[in-house]
Amino acid sequence: DTGVSQNPRHKITKRGQNVTFRCDPISEHNRLYWYRQTLGQGPEFLTYFQNEAQLEKSRLLSDRFSAERPKGSFSTLEIQRTEQGDSAMYLCASSPLTRLGTDTQYFGPGTRLTVL
């Protein structure tokens, strides 16, 4: 039984470059979430998918951020034209589709992005 995996674990990029992160959820989980965590803060919700449908994307931080989950399995988060303020930990989580309130989210190890 494998957990949520994320790749890469670390990414260093120069300002202005595009970056893409991948998340592989727990196989039977329908829901997939992306969060951002900056130093000294709790995670901040960005977007989520139910199967391949992106049901909430208004919390993406700017139009430079986009996410996909094309076949309802893995997901990618892309940041275009990175800025130094994008430096953070990007966390992915997945949960099964259960009755409201008990869909516990299980997190991956995160991708730490550093923008120089």
Asked if 65 touches another protein (CB under 8 A), the answer is no
Q: Which of 56, 78, 83, 85 binds another protein (CB under 8 A)?
A: 56
Residues facing residue 37 across a β-bridge? 89
Q: Which residues pair with 93 in a beta bridge?
A: 33, 107
Q: At 3, list the tokens.
A: 């957990």
Task: Report if residue 43 touches another protein, rule: CB under 8 A.
Answer: yes
Strand partners, 36: 44, 90
Which listed residue (86, 95, 113, 115) binds another protein by CB under 8 A?
Answer: 95
5 half-sphere exposure, CB direction, 13 A CA radius: 8
Q: Is 42 in the site for another protein (CB under 8 A)?
A: yes
Contact 44, 34 (CB under 8 A): no
User: Binders of another protein: how many residues, by CB under 8 A?
Assistant: 31
Chain residues in the site for another protein (CB under 8 A): 31, 33, 35, 40-45, 48, 50, 55-56, 58-59, 89, 91, 93, 95, 100-110, 112
